[in-house]
Amino acid sequence: MLYLLAKTVINALIITAASEAAKRSPLIGAVLASIPLVSVLAMIWMYHEQHDVAQIAAFARDILWLVLPSLLLFAILPLLLQRGLHFYLSLAIAIAVTVAGYGLMVVWLRRGG
Tens of pLDDT, residue by residue over 10-38, are 878 877 887 888 788 887 777 777 778 78
**One-letter amino acid identity for 15?**
I
Please give the tally of structural domains in the chain.
Answer: 1
Residue 37 one-letter amino acid: L
CA 112/CA 77 separation, integer angstroms = 30
Q: What's the pLDDT at 34?
A: 75
85 dihedral zone (left: phi>0; alpha: psi -120 to 50; beta): beta
The closest of 76, 69, 68, 112 to 94, measured between CA atoms, is 76
pTM (two decimals): 0.68
In a domain, 59, yes or no: yes
Residue 87 in domain: yes
Q: Which segments within 11-106 are labelled E, that is strand?
A: none
The domain containing residue 78 runs over which residues?
A: 53-113
Low-confidence ranges of the chain (pLDDT < 70): 113
In a domain, 66, yes or no: yes
Residue 37 lies in a domain: no
In a domain? residue 64: yes
Residue 113, pLDDT score: 58
Q: What angle do CA 66, 28, 48 make, to 5 degrees?
A: 50
How much is the pLDDT for 87? Answer: 97
Q: Is residue 84 part of a domain?
A: yes
